[in-house]
Chain A
């Protein structure tokens, strides 16, 4: 068989813009995610209704047929993530969206997506838990589940926007990372951000970067589906239906994709490569935002919607002469240890406001390694931290 020259379908930007409507809109965070997916080139969504993520499914069900894509409502979240992985193997960009309980259900197949190196995006619009909890209220209680929810040794990429506009743009980033590194990527917002309406500006075509999964250039006889490029550690992809006869399995496999479950060597090679695929390329996927980084002795490290509150508090504190800086984490996983360690050398104390009882504070403490104090500001029950609350803490910390 001869080599295949795969044709990558270019983004139909004009069609997408036509379908999305006016350039400036007042929309919810959930809707912004759906817009971002379309702008990223997503043509397949499989999902299941769950508060507060249902709107993403509703939006996709309306938008996708207009661009010739496919929306399918599955019978549960397990089937949803299964369907998007299956669809991704035909070469299309796929997404699903859920909340905490649904995300819990998705864990097994998420592991499958990781070991099969399937690009796809999973949005979790977090809600107050555990269990059914407070369905309509926001929380950030799944931060650790994102990292360790699925069994076995693995790395994961997870991004946390802090505004409606960013929800749209980071969805595009999530797709790009999923494609480039051939891995499921998680995008976590929460019920507040998901249902909050804000002004968004749809980016122009030249403002968007679109990345696609690396496609193989060798013939089917030469092709080894899971032999990774030695630099990127990412194997080249061959879509189903193109004659490459790829065997994809969740079992430990060799470079040919065939099961080799009794070899410790092959298992170690595979699992370590999958982890290094993320860790060695960490710089490309680590995003953050810093305020007053050079001139602070107290630091706030925040993510998600709490970061907005923090910024407000920081500006007020600065007016009072408190030397506080803010580090907003956008990439949560892989965890930016070096960045945290760097900030730990600059300040006396790091304050971590979280809409949970303390999840990210643990890797933060680990990265700080005793260089400074770390104080957790937990808040659960659905209310956001207020700027006044945070300001009070900062005032109390000031020497």
Chain B
């Protein structure tokens, strides 16, 4: 077990600290857990590329001492697909947020999963567009107050993990930042998984979301997660065997855990097979001329 200090020395871009994140922001927790996961895997930082879009979560790429691509809003997966397809030897990890990743980036998320590009997406879900001050996002719970839903959000939120599972991502997991060990394990599993992996991290945004929804206090925020999350297995057990009252109580709960863990051949694998089938063996020009291949 490495000392935290050693990890920081190895993985962090010191000149960028202290971070821009607010006090109590869960994005910092996500970075911490990612470092532990990377260390467990003995990840070679020289062969790892971090890609992000725009938003508070997307700032994470600036804090890691590795090749980083901080792109345009919602487009991290498109750029990352290019990086991975052009050099499959690189490990590509994406930091994104709920707005960046499932709002403007929704289409790219869909297709990255569909073509099963071998990348790991760590999506920080704080139920808001934090960087711009706290507007409603695709994952904002019904009834939430935000700067653009001052009377309460009337739109149904998106469940990103369920969506990823439905499209067929080989690895999908969701954990709140309040439990350190499970996210570290899931991030490890995601990076090791061949194909697309999504780890959705529920994180508090005390400043933009929390403050408007009675969760400004960090202790209240962390308690909220503990009161409202339920392991998938427990959820399913309750739905099958629980009492009616227990089942009704499930409506307020957020499912956490590993949604999907399967195997599926990745885009780069398929492309490699295709190239092997089709690639032309080079023949010298003189020989081609001799054989009258080129007129």
Contact = CB atoms under 8 A, between A and B. Distances in A.
Per the CB under 8 Å rule, do A and B touch in the complex? yes
Interface of A: 12-15, 17-19, 21-24, 43-44, 46, 65-68, 70, 72, 74-76, 78-80, 82-92, 94, 108-109, 112, 205, 240-251, 256, 258-259
Given A12-B282, A86-B80, A87-B86, A22 B13 contact: no
A249 B79 CA distance: 12
- Residue of B66, B67, B267 ringed by the most chain A CB atoms within 10 A: B67
Nearest to B108: A79
A243 B285 contact: no
A66 B282 contact: no
Interface string B266-295: 010001001100111011110010000111
B278 A66 contact: yes
**Top 4 nearest A-B pairs by Cβ distance?**
A86-B82, A82-B78, A83-B82, A87-B86
B65 interface: yes
B294 to A, nearest CB: 5
A70 B86 contact: yes
Interface string B83-95: 1011101100000
Contact of A83 (B72, B78, B274): B78
A46 B45 contact: no
Contacts of A250: 70-72
Interface residues of B, number: 50
A258 B83 contact: no
Given A68-B275, A70-B271, A109-B75, A92 B110 contact: no
B49 interface: yes
Given A67-B280, A83-B81, 13 more contacts: A21-B294, A46-B81, A72-B85, A74-B78, A74-B111, A79-B108, A82-B71, A85-B82, A240-B49, A245-B66, A248-B70, A249-B62, A251-B70
A94 B86 contact: yes
B69 A259 contact: no
A66 B280 contact: yes
B70 A109 contact: no
A11 to B, nearest CB: 12
Contact of B83 (A21, A24, A89, A205): A89
A239 to B, nearest CB: 8
Contacts of B1: none
B67 A78 contact: no
A337 to B, nearest CB: 32
A192 to B, nearest CB: 28
B68 A248 contact: yes
A372 B80 CA distance: 52
B86 A78 contact: no
Nearest to A16: B282
B169 to A, nearest CB: 16
Contacts of A256: 15
Contacts of A112: 71-72
Nearest to B45: A245
Nearest to B271: A70
Secondary structure class of chain B's binding surface, majority of residues: helix
A84 to B, nearest CB: 6
A86 B79 contact: yes
A14 B67 contact: no
Given A23-B295, A258-B62, A241 B274 contact: no
B92 to A, nearest CB: 9
B87 A241 contact: yes
A222 B62 CA distance: 19
B67 A65 contact: no
B47 interface: yes
A48 to B, nearest CB: 11
Nearest to B13: A247
Contacts of B278: 65-66
B83 A76 contact: no
B51 interface: yes
Given A79-B81, A241-B90, A86 B62 contact: no
B16 interface: yes
Contacts of A87: 82-83, 85-86
A166 B215 CA distance: 64
B46 interface: yes
Given A15-B282, A21-B294, A75-B111, A259 B62 contact: yes
Contacts of A88: 82, 86
Contacts of A82: 71-72, 75, 78-79, 81-82
Q: Which of B51, B90, B282 gathers the greatest number of chain A CB atoms within 10 Å?
A: B282
A79 B85 CA distance: 13
A24 B295 CA distance: 7
Contacts of A66: 278-280
A248 B69 contact: yes
Contacts of A65: 271, 274-275, 278-279
14 contacts: A17-B285, A19-B280, A22-B294, A46-B85, A72-B82, A79-B78, A82-B82, A85-B71, A89-B67, A92-B87, A243-B46, A247-B13, A249-B62, A250-B70
Most B CB contacts (10 A, CB to CB) among A13, A80, A82, A87 go to A82
